[in-house]
Amino acid sequence: MKLILASQSPRRRELLAMTGFSFDVVPASCDEHHVIEMLDDKNSPTHVVEALSFAKATRVLEDNPDAIVLGADTVVSLDGVFYGKPEDEADARRMLRELAGRTHLVATGVTILTGSSSEVFSVLSEVTFYPLSSIIESLIDRYVATGAPLDKAGAYGIQELGGLLISEIQGDFFSVMGLPVAEVYQRLAPFAPFDR
């Protein structure tokens, strides 16, 4: 039985590789807006990421029915507002300035799906940014100029220059990065043997 990561995220690929499990990558294509519209509770970060991770895993399992499929999704939210990937550099600057000096939520949902079983769970972390100052403003401008924030929910990655904006984290560092890899390892291990 082969393991498939249903994500094109290089960060999730890097984190899953930490487990030592061999896996293939098959990015999932699903209409995320439609998935969210079908939810009873569209305002719950954990419900949203669990539904999206399940939709992605389900889509990939359709074409790979004998595989173990791992789907994941991450959202950033502040006061009930979801921060997805920024549209452009100006939007990235706006997001990072709005998050400055405040504590926001980062929810990562994970689905482990086979033809006969499914596990869906999420990890919620709290991340606090330093308040706006001339140093933080300069850091935001420098970070946005790299282009790195443009493919990340909330316009930052904890594992890169964006991590310098963070004063505190309560929760799972790797979940904020995109995959709660320690918990994923615990849940995948019983499915062995697949190549390690």
Give yes or no: 63 in active site.
no
Per-residue pLDDT at 123: 97
Per-residue pLDDT at 89: 97
In a domain, residue 128? The reply is: yes
User: Could you tell me the residue range of the domain that residue 13 belongs to?
Assistant: 3-191
In a domain, residue 88? The reply is: yes
Per-residue pLDDT at 195: 52
In a domain, residue 166? The reply is: yes
Burial of 185 (0-12, 13-18, 19+ CB in 10 A): middle
pLDDT mean for each 10 residues of the chain (196 residues) = 92 94 91 76 88 95 96 94 94 97 97 95 98 97 96 93 97 96 94 63
Active-site residue identified among 40, 63, 66, 73: 73
Per-residue pLDDT at 34: 72
Please state, in angstroms and as integers, the Cα–Cα distance from residue 153 to each residue in 50, 86, 118, 119, 190, following that order: 16, 7, 26, 24, 31
Asked if 74 contacts 48 with a C-beta cutoff of 8 angstroms, the reply is no
DSSP state of 2: -
Q: List the structure tokens of 18.
A: 């930490």
The closest alpha carbon to 7, from 66, 65, 49, belongs to 49
In a domain, residue 21? The reply is: yes
Number of H helices, E strands in the chain: 7, 7
In a domain, residue 126? The reply is: yes
Number of domains in the chain: 1
Task: Indicate the Cα dihedral angle 164, 170, 171, 173, nearest 10°.
Answer: 10
Please state, in angstroms and as integers, the Cα–Cα distance from residue 12 to each residue in 68, 70, 74, 110, following that order: 16, 10, 11, 11
Burial of 171 (0-12, 13-18, 19+ CB in 10 A): middle
Per-residue pLDDT at 196: 47
In a domain, residue 119? The reply is: yes
In the chain, the N- to C-terminal Cα span, in Å, equals 12
Here the CATH number for the domain that contains residue 152 is: 3.90.950.10
In a domain, residue 196? The reply is: no
Q: What one-character-per-residue DSSP string does 68-96 give?
A: EEEEEEEEEEETTEEE-S-SSHHHHHHHH
Asked if 142 contacts 160 with a C-beta cutoff of 8 angstroms, the reply is no
